[in-house]
Amino acid sequence: MRSIPLPVSTVPFGKTVLVFRKTKTFQIQEDGGVFYIIRCKSLGIDVYSKKLSNIQEELEEAIRSNWREYALADDSELSPKAILLKRKLLKAIEELAK
């Protein structure tokens, strides 16, 4: 299985931008030429695409979705595992004005 590095430092998020405190390099795995996959357990990311050209868009949407669902949520609304994911997201990413 071939691996392709994909460094990400920022992700657009509405009127703001999500900025990785340290550029994160995700690994794109090629699954027999059928799918391209990115998995990052620490940030709760598991995305795939049939086209390599779409995988970054899928990754950015997963990051935005996790930010909305976990990082911005009140701890009282989250399970213990979700709180751990929230902490990892907040440690890795900050939201800044554009």
Nearest to 72 by CA among 13, 26, 11: 13
Q: What is the pLDDT of residues 29-50, one digit of tens each?
A: 998 878 999 999 999 999 999 9
DSSP state string for the chain:
--EEEEEEEEEEETTEEEEEEEEEEEEEEEETTTEEEEEEGGGTEEEEESSGGGHHHHHHHHHHHHIIIIITS-GGGS-HHHHHHHHHHHHHEEEEE-
Q: What is the pLDDT of residues 53-91, one digit of tens each?
A: 999 999 999 999 999 999 999 999 999 999 999 999 999
Is 0.85 topped by the overall pTM?
yes
Banded pLDDT at 4 (limits 50, 70, 90): very high
**pLDDT value, residue 98:** 87
